[in-house]
Amino acid sequence: MARDGDQLTLREVLSALWRRKWIIVAVTLLAAVVAAVYLARVEPNYTSTTTARASTFLTDSIAAGSIAGVPADVDPSVITTPAVLEPAAEALDEPVQTVASSVTYEVVEGLRTNSLVVTAAGPSSDSAQARAQAVMQSYMDYVSQTIASTLTTLQTNVATTTEQIRAYQTQLAGNPNDPIAAQNLATSLATLSGYNSQIVLIQNAGSVLTVTAAATPGASTNPSLLIVAALALVCGLLAGAGIALVRDFFDDRLRSSDEIEPLTGAPAIAELANDPRVSRRKVRLPAASAERTALSEGIRSLRTTVQVMLPEGKGVIVVTSVEPGDGKTFLSTNLAVSWARAGRKVILVGGDLRRGQLGWYFPGLDHVAGLGNLLSDASSARRAPSQTQIIDSLQSTPFRGLRVMPSGSTTEEPADLLGGRHVGRVITHLARSADVVVIDSPPALALADASELASHAFGVVLIATVNRTRRALLRDTVANLRANGIEVLGIVVNRSRRRLPKSYASYYLKRTSSPAAAPRATRSTAQPLEDDRVLLAEDEGADNAEVSARLDAPRSAPATARSGLDETAVPGADPEAIREDVAADVDIDDTSDTEHADVGDESLQDRQDEATSQGLRGARRRRDDIDLDQDQHA
């Protein structure tokens, strides 16, 4: 993702979400599990509602707080009191607390009358309906009882007032002019009239509460499965996307080759596709196979790129990595094989004296003396290794033009051996014996070995792994190499999952050999090449005539006598491809022999002159070596 304040584009966001898709999936599944647990543990809940309309008489009584002038509490708030709840609970045969916690009410005001809405909850549809009915009926009974009690009170007051009136009338009959008796009589008559009016009002009030909507079977209030599932999906996706973006922002691992040059200043010179067969170690040398794959084509592309960088296409390169496990040995061996298949003379050097792995690609090299033994012996003898020792350390391979100098073994500190003066002589002599020398070195970040080897090479090819190599480590590795004066030719991005366009599919079809084609003769590669013979002659002190004689010597036995190739020596190599390569090489050799036969004395003289020149240069180098040895002994 973008850093250093850069704004993210939609493509980058979608790319980050795709890289972290498993986080999103995991969070979404977690949300689904939580939703399932919630649905399993939530208690069923149903609600039922009933509505009753209050009469004008009851509405006025509720507002006045009295019935026909007699104080009485008929307000709907009494629904939540024991006066209403206890009869309802007794009718339901349930605890009062259970009924009280499940009932609510609402008064809906109208123009002249009000309506009362009672809602009851229950664990089932029937229980919710029963509670709503019971509470509404209990309230209606309570109001009726209150009105009846008020009517009884008024009737009692009428009887009492009537007796008082009779008493006052008796007093007036005895003394008509008694003003007090007359006043009391008038007051009692007025009170009696009021009582009678109130009684008439109550009697004419009729039904004070009328149920307009009976309680229906309870409806579930729990969220439906569909709603819970949708909510869990949305929440899981949003939370997963957020976590994925945050995780990706703080993830410092390399994502693609596009990040290489802005991060390190070094170009990304190749991108090797991720091949599951290589990851599972079913294929070791895809460059040796005739099968066309994105990985093998990437190795060939890297070979071409590095060859263009090398002066005249020749030189020494060091292949290293940021961390162990990035695939440096895999790249070194396959790059060397690819060069050999292109007709170049290649020497692969096991420069990793700590954990050399070339034996896994070329069986039989694990316990063979190599660079470590060569440098250790030279250090003990305090004398630079001779040409003979260097050439004897090279091992043949099933691929024409490719020889390997294994890592060997040593008891000394590898960094000290590689930092000595002898390693430069070894690499120089190897460079004279081949077109390209590929050195497999240890990781370059925390070890000095790679820098020591690269100081004698043209440059370094650094390999980094997608989704594994840390950006900071990659940047530090390149900075360390440059600080040591090492030329970083470029960075190879390994295990890339970038897909090529489908239009390239036809170019990666597996190549099959014609069934009618008979196997052709193979050629052993154990014999030293012409450059090796010249170097050996120089080292042993041969004069110019001896050099010329060696160069003029006829080639070895024909192709039929050089069939010592073991096609199964390299796991993962295609035997048919090896036969094709070697057969082509034999054709070239045979053609060269014919051409040399036709050149005549003029060609022979040219070769002798060239050999003489090489012999003179060898003599000068030999004198330099003698002077160096004398200085060392001194």
d(CA 243, CA 27): 9
CATH architecture observed for domain 46-220? 2-Layer Sandwich (3.30)
Strand 395-396 to 346-350 pairing: unpaired
Selecting from 3.40.50.300, 3.40.50.1260, 3.30.465.10, 1.10.3720.10, what CATH number does the domain 257-508 have?
A: 3.40.50.300
Of 124-133, 382-391, 480-489, least confident by mean pLDDT is 382-391
Q: What is the mean pLDDT of the chain?
A: 78
What is the structure's pLDDT at 501?
A: 67
Measured between alpha carbons, how far apart are the two ends of the chain, in Å?
A: 62
What is the structure's pLDDT at 223?
A: 87
d(CA 603, CA 593): 13
Confidence of residue 104 (pLDDT cuts 50, 70, 90): very high
Q: What is the DSSP string of 534-558?
A: HHHHHHTT--HHHHHHHHHSPPSS-
Of 233-242, 251-260, 301-310, 548-557, least confident by mean pLDDT is 548-557
Instruction: For residue range 400-434, list pLDDT tens digits in order.
Output: 999 999 988 887 888 888 888 888 889 999 999 99
Other beta carbons within 10 angstroms of residue 575's beta carbon come to 18
Q: Where are the beta strands (DSSP E) in 69-138?
A: 70-71, 103-109, 114-122
Note whether 525 and 346 are within 8 A (CB).
no
Confidence of residue 606 (pLDDT cuts 50, 70, 90): very low
Instruction: For residue range 471-515, list pLDDT tens digits in order.
Output: 889 999 999 999 999 999 999 999 887 776 666 666 655 544 433
pLDDT score of 616 more than 70: no
pTM over 0.75: no
d(CA 622, CA 425): 13
What is the structure's pLDDT at 627?
A: 44
Instruction: For residue range 166-195, list pLDDT tens digits in order.
Output: 888 888 888 888 888 888 888 988 888 888
Highest mean pLDDT among 47-51, 175-179, 514-518, 610-614 belongs to: 47-51
What is the structure's pLDDT at 180?
A: 86
Structure tokens at 76: 């709907």
Note whether 44 and 123 are within 8 A (CB).
yes
Confidence of residue 582 (pLDDT cuts 50, 70, 90): very low
| Own/partner long-range contacts of 20-25 (Cβ < 8 Å, ≥24 apart) | 20/243, 20/244, 20/245, 20/247, 20/248, 21/244, 23/240, 23/243, 23/244, 23/247, 24/236, 24/237, 24/240, 24/241, 24/243, 24/244, 25/240
State whether residue 42 is helix, strand or coil: coil
Note whether 444 and 321 are within 8 A (CB).
yes
What is the structure's pLDDT at 506?
A: 64
What is the structure's pLDDT at 507?
A: 63
Instruction: For residue range 285-320, list pLDDT tens digits in order.
Output: 888 887 788 888 889 999 999 999 998 889 999 999
State whether residue 323 is helix, strand or coil: coil
Instruction: For residue range 144-174, list pLDDT tens digits in order.
Output: 999 888 888 888 988 998 988 888 888 888 8
Note whether 230 and 426 are within 8 A (CB).
no
Q: How many CA atoms lie within 13 A of 318 on its CB side?
A: 25
Question: 483: buried, middle or exposed (CB in 10 Å: 19+, 13-18, 0-12)?
Answer: exposed
Mean pLDDT (whole number) for 389-396:
90
* Percent of the chain residues topping a pLDDT of 90: 34
Portions of the chain given CATH number 3.40.50.300? 257-508
What is the structure's pLDDT at 50?
A: 94
d(CA 444, CA 256): 21
What is the structure's pLDDT at 305?
A: 93
Note whether 128 and 222 are within 8 A (CB).
no
Confidence of residue 56 (pLDDT cuts 50, 70, 90): confident
Instruction: For residue range 270-284, list pLDDT tens digits in order.
Output: 888 888 888 787 888
Helices (H) and strands (E) in the chain, counts: 23, 15
Of 20-34, 188-202, 238-252, 539-553, least confident by mean pLDDT is 539-553
* 5-14 as b/e: b if 16+ CB within 10 A: eeeeeeeebe
Of 14-28, 47-61, 358-372, 607-621, least confident by mean pLDDT is 607-621
Portions of the chain given CATH number 3.30.1890? 46-220
Mean pLDDT (whole number) for 591-600:
36
Confidence of residue 591 (pLDDT cuts 50, 70, 90): very low
What is the structure's pLDDT at 199?
A: 85
Tokens 């897909």 belong to which residue?
Answer: 499
d(CA 148, CA 142): 10
The number of angstroms, rounded, from the C-alpha of 141 to the middle of its chain's C-alpha atoms is: 70
d(CA 475, CA 418): 24
d(CA 611, CA 456): 27
Note whether 365 and 609 are within 8 A (CB).
no
d(CA 340, CA 578): 11
> What is the DSSP secondary structure assignment for residue 608, as one 8-state letter?
H
What is the structure's pLDDT at 256?
A: 80
What is the structure's pLDDT at 578?
A: 43
Note whether 332 and 348 are within 8 A (CB).
yes
Tokens 């009976």 belong to which residue?
Answer: 214
Other beta carbons within 10 angstroms of residue 618's beta carbon come to 23
d(CA 593, CA 451): 43
Note whether 229 and 31 are within 8 A (CB).
no
Report the 3 state secondary structure along 455-516.
CCCCEEEEEEECCCCEHHHHHHHHHHHHHCCCCEEEEEEEEECCCCCHHHHHHHCCCCCCCC
Question: 391: buried, middle or exposed (CB in 10 Å: 19+, 13-18, 0-12)?
Answer: buried
